Amino acid sequence: MAAAAGSGTPREEEGPSGEAAAPQPQAPTSAPGARLSRLPLARVKALVKADPDVTLAGQEAIFILARAAELFVETIAKDAYCCAQQGKRKTLQRRDLDNAIEAVDEFAFLEGTLD
């Protein structure tokens, strides 16, 4: 994103029709010491290196894998929570995960893995 000359603030870019384009999303900035990943990157790296097919894994790749795992867990937990709410419960149970796996096509690859 382009910034106004020396001001440090982003400037609006004009689209092809001369209208101001919507500002582009920026990467989240964090305070010093804030964690960008909720999963421990050292543990993710150890899991990646445990795969005999992996020879090298850069720090960026480890971060992306950790972030993808976070998003996956968040998604399946939300879907399982919806299943729990249908049963008038607030606590997730194993059967809620099973129901979410059966109900959502994207989780088909997990069928039979929790047995």
Q: pLDDT digits over 9-51, tens only?
A: 444 444 455 555 555 444 455 555 557 889 999 999 999 999 9
Of residues 87 and 7, which shows the higher confidence score?
87
Asked whether 82 and 103 are in contact (CB, 8 A), the reply is no
Supply the pLDDT for residue 104: 92
pTM above 0.85, yes or no: no
Q: pLDDT digits over 74-100, tens only?
A: 999 999 999 999 999 999 999 999 999
Question: What is the mean predicted confidence (pLDDT) over 102-107?
Answer: 92
CATH code of domain 41-110: 1.10.20.10
